[in-house]
Amino acid sequence: MNKKLNTVLFILGATVFNVIIAVISFVLILIFYIAVIVPNVPGAAQSWAFSLIFLSSIAISILVYRVVLKALLNKVDVEKYFDPLFVNRNMRKKPSTSE
């Protein structure tokens, strides 16, 4: 496989991983909410629950994604396996110095 294909597959895999973590955290927080919080909280306070559960699951997925990505990048040589996503066209290649 070449670097461009590795990069595309990594981005797709990382996206799927992030979505799966968001769904898992959403379900776990929802189960916790239904089991523990609903019986103890009045109805008026329960109206914001879905929004808060959704936002907290996104925040948790971002945090988990960052930790896993940082650990992966420490193990893998990025320049060896992946193509850069953004290349600055204004930067010129350094001229080779032949003495």
Question: CA-to-CA distance for 43 and 40, rounded, in angstroms?
Answer: 10
- Domain-located, residue 41: yes
- The model's confidence at residue 31, banded by pLDDT at 50, 70 and 90, is very high
Task: Answer with the residue of higher pLDDT: 69 or 37.
Answer: 69
State the alpha helices, DSSP H only, in 33-93: 49-75, 78-81
| 63 pLDDT above the threshold of 60 | yes
| 65 pLDDT above the threshold of 70 | yes
| 56 pLDDT above the threshold of 90 | yes
| 94 pLDDT above the threshold of 70 | no
| 97 pLDDT above the threshold of 70 | no
- Domain-located, residue 94: no
Structure confidence at residue 93 (pLDDT): 59
Residue 54 token pair: 């959704």
- Domain-located, residue 76: yes
* Residue 61 structural domain: 3-80
- Domain-located, residue 64: yes
Q: At what angle do helices 3-32 and 49-75 cross, to 10 degrees?
A: 140
Nearest to 46 by CA among 58, 24, 30, 63: 30
| Helix, coil or strand: residue 77 | coil
Nearest to 57 by CA among 31, 28, 25: 25
| 35 pLDDT above the threshold of 80 | yes
- The count of structural domains within the chain is 1
- The model's confidence at residue 27, banded by pLDDT at 50, 70 and 90, is very high
pTM summary value: 0.74
